Amino acid sequence: MVHKAFRLKAVQDVKNPVSALCTVGSSKLIIGCSDGSILLWDVSNGGTKLSPKHVCKPKSKAPIQQLIPLPDLNLLLVVFDGVIQQHTISPIIELKKEVPKISGVTMVAAKKDRDRYYAAATVKRQKVYILEYRKEEAGFVQRADRAEYTLPETPKTLVWNAYGIFIGFKKDFGWLNVGTNATRMKEVFAASCIVSMPVTSEVLLIRGQEGVSLNSEADPSRKTALQFQSMPHTLAYTYPFILALGDRSIEVRAFQPLESREQGCDINCQELQLAHPKFISLPNYIDMDQAALQRVATRRPGNEEEDRGIVHTAQPLVYVTSGTQSVQLLEPVPFSEQVEELLSRNKSDDYEAALTLGSLLTADDISEDLMNRVYIMYGFHLFCKNQFLKAMHLFLRGNIDPRCVIKIFGLLPSYVEQRWTPSPEHARCIQEAQKALSEVQEKLKAIAQLKSWLKNLRQSPTQAEMQDDPLKLDTTEAGMKQASVDTALLRALLLTSEHDVAPFLELPNRCVLEDCESFLREDSKWGDIVALYKSKRLDRKALELLKDLGEGTKSRDPKARELGINGTIAYIQKLDPANATHRELILEYSEWVLLRAPHHQALPMFYSNPKKVITPRLVYEHLRKVLPRNLECQAGYLAKMLEDPILKALPECRNSSIHEALIDVYVALVKKYNGCGKVKDAEAIKARLQSFLKTSERYDPESVKQQFAGEDFYREMTIVHCKLEQHEDALRILAHKLNSFDECVAYCQNESVAKPPPSAAAPSAAPTSALAKGREKRQELHFILFTLLLNPDDKSPPKVEQALRLLNLYPDKVNCLKALKMLPADTKVHDVAQWIVQVLKDVSVKNRETKIYMNLCKSEHHQVAVQRVYRLREKFVIDQKTVCPVCKRKIGNSIVAYYPNGKLVHKICATSLLVCPVTKKTFSPLDELGPKN
C-alpha cells in the first residue's frame, strides 16, 4: 500500500535560522527568523521557485515564535517577544497593531467558526485568554465574557477543535469547553503532540507510536489507533493526509473519515527521509466555515459529501525546514498518479488502498473515469479470486459496460458478439476472469450473483421502443447493452431459478429473439418460448407453436400436448376481440382446439373474460362451420352466453337472433335424441328449452312458433301461445292434446293475474291489438277453459266431468247463468247441486253485505243532516266591543274562526282548526259539525 503522495524538493536556504513559517494560499510563503525578521516570498512554478518580496525588520532581536495567517482578514498574527502582533499580509507585511492588554504570551491558536466568527486562544503563564475579532477595532481584542481560564500549570501545546481547546501540559492533555460556562477541564491522557482535523471534527494525539483520535467532545472516536513507524514530535494535517515529523523522516498517512473508514483500509502512504525536520508551514489554525471554504465538487454515487458533512478545502503548499536554515517543499503528487501507481501493482491491498483513497477525494481531485476504473479493475481482481458478490458490487459502482461481465460467462447475443470489441485492458481482464471461472466447481453461485447484478442494471423498454418491429435488432450502443442485459438475465434465470422465467418474460423486455429461442428450445421450455413470443407481440408465432405441440408435431410428450391445448385456450383468452387481427387469430386457432378438446374445456376461451368477449353471433357461426354436427357444443355456448347473469347483460347478448338460435339448437337436439331413442336426454333438453322460453324476453314468439309443430312440442307451443296472449289456443292444447286438467287449472290461476306488457325491446310479429285483446281475456280464463271442455273443436266428446269439477273448485270464477246455459240438457241436478249451493251462498252473502253497506250510508247521511241543523241554529254576535281572546284586539270586520266550544278568534290567530288556541282543547273533524258542548 506504500506509494508516493509527496515529492521532497529543496527550494531555498535562509541566512538566518528559521523559527516559524507559513503559507498564504499558493502564492506566498512567510518565514519568521530567530532574529525577529519576517521574510515574504512570492511562490511560482508550483511552489519550487521562491522570489523575495519584502522583509519586515523587528524592533528587537527576539525570535519569531509563531505565525498564523488569516487571508480573509488580510491579517497575520505574529507571536513575538511575549506579545501578539497583527500585521497586514498584502501588499506587504506591515505592523498594524498589537493585541492590547496582553503580554508575556508564549503561544496562540486561531479558529474560524461556520458563522464567520474569528476567535483566538493565547497562553500567558497559567492562564488561557480568549480573543475575538471585532470589525470596529479592526483586530483581535480580549473577549468580555469568560475572557480567561486559570490552568493548573503552564501549558506546552494549544489546539482548537469544534467546541473547545485541547491544552497540552508536561505530562498529560486536557480539554476545555469554551462554549459554556464550565470552568472544569476534562482530563484526557498523556501525549507528545496533537493536531486538529476540522474536516472530520476530530483531533489526533500521539501516544508513543500510536495516534488516538478524539471527537469534538474529547471522547475516543475510533476503535483502533493509527500506527506510526516512529514517534513523531510534530503533526500537521492537509486533507486527506497527516504529516508526522520525526527525527530523520516525515511519515505520510491518509486519515479517513469515520464513514469511509468502515469500508476502506488504513493507508500508510510513504516515509520521506529528511534530516532533522523541525518546522512545517501548516499553521495552528482551523477553519470551520463550510459556506466559505467548501469546494464545489460532484461526488460519486454512494460517496456524497453532504451525507457525511465533510468540508474539503483547497490543498495548500506545504514547506518544511531541514535543520534551521534549509526550506524544503513537499510537492504533492497528483491524486490520479497516486491511484495509477496503486492500480499498476495488481494486488488486493493496493486495490483497496486506491479505492479508499478515491473515496476521500472530490471530483476535482480525481476524475470520474479514473474512479470507475478503480472499481472495475478491483472488481475483476476479486472475480478472479472467486469473490463474486463483492466483484458484482464494484462493477455496479464502476458503471462498467455490462457486455464485459456478460462476456465472461459467454452469454453475449450473437449479433452483439459480432459488432462489439472490448478495450485491450478489459479484454485482458475478461480472459483472466474466464480462465478463473472455468476452474470454479460451483459455477451456479457465480451465475446467481450475475443474475442479481443484471436485475439491478436492467431498464424496462420505453413505450416507443415497444412499438418497434420486434424482429429488428438494435445496433446502437445503448440498445446492444440493454439487449445483452436482458438476454443474459433470461439465461441466468433459466439456470438458477426457473420459476422466475415466466414472470420475467411477461414484462416488456429487450431479449434477442434468435438467441433466447435457441437455448429455450434446447431445454424444451415450450411455455417460456410462448411467453417470449407474446412479449415480442408475435401472437401468430406463439399460437402456431402451441398448435404444433397440441397436434404432436413438435413433441410426443403428453405434457407438451396438454400444454398445447391449455396454452392455446389461455392465450386466446388474453387476445382483444376488438382488434381485427386478434379476432382473426381467435377464430383461426380455436378451430383445432374445438376439434381436439371437450367442449366444456374449449368453450371458455370465448367468454371467460367478460371484458373481452367476441361477438356471440360470430362465434356461433364459427361453431356451426367447425362442428356442424356437434349441437351440444353449440347449445352449451349459447346457453352460457344467454343464461349467465354477467354475460347476458352484455349488449351483444341482447340480439334476438342469438336467442332464437338457441331455441333452434334446442329443438334440433330434441329431435336428434328422440330419433336415437335417448328419451331421458330429450326430456332434459326440453326442460331447459321450456325454462328458456319462459324467462327470455328477447325472441319473437310468432317467428319461433313454427318450430314447435308436432306432438313432441305441445308444452313449448303452450308457452309461445301464452307469450302471444293466445290463451284459448294454449288451454286447448293442455285440455285436449295433453289431457291435463291440473295443468289447465294451474295455467288459469297463474295467467288470470294481471301482468305488465312485455318490454319494448322484445320483438313480436303479432299485432298490438291482438295482444291487448288477449290481455283483456285474462279475467275470463276459467270460463274459456269451461267452454273448451264442453265444446271441443275436434270430434272428441265433451269433458263434462272436468267441466263440473272446475265449477266446484272455482264457483266464483265462472258466470253462473252462462254456465247453466252451456251445460248439457241431461246433466243431473245431483252433479251441479254442490256448485249451485255454493253460488247461492255467495249471492246471499253479497246481498247481505250490500244491504249492510246501504244502511250504514243512510245512517251517516242522517247524522250529517242532524249536525247541519244544529249548526244552522247556532248564532254569535260580533259588535265593537268583541275582543279576540288570543291577541286581545277588537275583531271588527276581520275574518274569524269559530270553535265547537264556542270560542271566537281571529282567523290569523287560529294556528289549527282542530285545536282551540284559548283552551288548547283538541277536536275531531266530526266535532266541528257536532252540537256545542
The rounded distance, in Å, linking the Cα atoms of 122 and 109 is 7
Residue range 584-626, pLDDT digits in tens: 999 999 999 999 989 889 998 988 888 888 888 999 999 999 9
Least confident of 1-15, 406-420, 884-898: 1-15
**Where in 277-380 does DSSP place strands (E)?**
277-280, 285-287, 318-322, 326-332
pLDDT of amino acid 406: 92
E strand or H helix at 519: helix 513-522
Which residue has cell 516525515?
250
Percent of the chain with pLDDT over 90: 24
The rounded distance, in Å, linking the Cα atoms of 400 and 391 is 11
Give the CB-side neighbour count of residue 607, counting CA atoms within 13 A: 28
Angle at 349 between CA 344 and CA 351, to 5 degrees: 45
Cell numbers for 585: 387469430
pLDDT surpassing 80 at residue 494 = yes
Question: Band of the pLDDT at 930, cuts 50, 70, 90?
Answer: very low
pLDDT surpassing 60 at residue 763 = no
The highest-confidence range among 692-696, 831-835, 864-868, by mean pLDDT, is: 692-696
* β-pair type (164-168, 173-177): antiparallel
pLDDT of amino acid 409: 92
pLDDT of amino acid 831: 81
pLDDT surpassing 70 at residue 291 = no
Question: Band of the pLDDT at 182, cuts 50, 70, 90?
Answer: low
pLDDT surpassing 80 at residue 361 = no
Question: Band of the pLDDT at 755, cuts 50, 70, 90?
Answer: low
pLDDT of amino acid 765: 53
> For the residues 849-860, what does the mean pLDDT come to?
94
Residue range 403-440, pLDDT digits in tens: 999 999 999 999 999 999 999 999 999 999 999 998 88
pLDDT surpassing 70 at residue 290 = no
Residue range 562-582, pLDDT digits in tens: 999 999 999 999 998 888 999
pLDDT of amino acid 52: 85
> For the residues 160-187, what does the mean pLDDT come to?
83
> For the residues 883-889, what does the mean pLDDT come to?
92
Coil vs helix vs strand at 242: strand
Question: Band of the pLDDT at 351, cuts 50, 70, 90?
Answer: confident
> For the residues 915-932, what does the mean pLDDT come to?
71
Angle at 841 between CA 838 and CA 843, to 5 degrees: 110
Question: Band of the pLDDT at 861, cuts 50, 70, 90?
Answer: very high
- Computed over every residue of the chain, the mean pLDDT equals 84
Residue type, 800: V
pLDDT of amino acid 862: 92
pLDDT of amino acid 308: 36
The rounded distance, in Å, linking the Cα atoms of 849 and 683 is 52
pLDDT surpassing 50 at residue 1 = yes
This prediction's pTM: 0.67
pLDDT of amino acid 772: 59
pLDDT of amino acid 412: 92
Render 292-331 in DSSP notation, one character per residue.
HH----PPPTT--HHHHT----PPPPEEEEETTTEEEEEE
Question: Band of the pLDDT at 181, cuts 50, 70, 90?
Answer: low
Question: How far does CA 550 lie from the centroid of its chain?
Answer: 40
pLDDT surpassing 70 at residue 148 = yes
